[in-house]
Structure 1
Amino acid sequence: MDYPSIVVHTPGLDGSRRVTRGNDTLGVACHLDDVVDILRRADVGLGLDLDAIEVEESDIIDWQGGGPDEWPGLSEHPER
């Protein structure tokens, strides 16, 4: 079964992460729970109960710039 490719992008300066499917922005997350809510609201067509999905380990989500535990705030970003 082919699943849609979901990307949780590299954290921005405020720690938020954009969630996309293809060229569509589904939302902006500030926490792992936000990712679950965004996917539920977007009805990504997985045919699965999103409450039961182990989002952290799911092979349908590409975590870029850090995994599901990476939500740095402004003070945690290196100086530029």
Structure 2
Amino acid sequence: MTSPRVIVGPPDAAAGRNVRIGDQFVGRAFALRDLVAFMQEAGLHDWDELDVVRSDLIEWRGGGPEVWGVGGSGSEPG
């Protein structure tokens, strides 16, 4: 079974990133832990933050997993 493609959009003005899994919008992530929660809710139960950072399944738009600031600057909030 293949896993659906995950698209993480660029940071918006509030530093949130829209997340799609397959064809479905699943929410806005503000940190890696949010993305992990979306992945787990989609049935990928063994995923953690390190898996999210390393995965080829995830397409990062407007910056990679380290970009969570407004307009793509800054870092993940603590």
TM-score calculated relative to the size of structure 1: 0.75
| 1:71 match: secondary structure | coil
Measure, in 1, the Cα distance between the counterparts of 2:57 and 2:22. 12
Q: Which residue pairs with 1:35 in the alignment?
A: 35
| 2:7 match: secondary structure | strand
Write the letter of the residue equivalent to 1:64: R
Query: How many residue pairs end up in the alignment?
Result: 72
Deviation at 1:23, TM superposition (A): 2.7
Q: Which has the larger radius of gyration?
A: 1
Q: CA RMSD in A?
A: 2.1
CA shift digits 1:16-68 (9 cap, x unpaired)? 0011023310111000111001111122xx5x611386211100000110000
Deviation at 1:3, TM superposition (A): 2.6
The ranges of structure 1 where at least 4 consecutive aligned residues each deviate by more than 2 angstroms after the TM superposition are: none
Within 5 A, what are the aligned runs for 1:3-42? 3-42=3-42
Contact 2:6–2:20 (8 Å) recurs in 1: yes
Write the letter of the residue equivalent to 1:12: D
Q: Which residue pairs with 1:67 in the alignment?
A: 64
Contact 1:15–1:71 (8 Å) recurs in 2: yes
- State the identity %: 36
TM-score calculated relative to the size of structure 2: 0.77
**Uncovered stretches (5+) of structure 2, i.e. residues with no partner:** 74-78
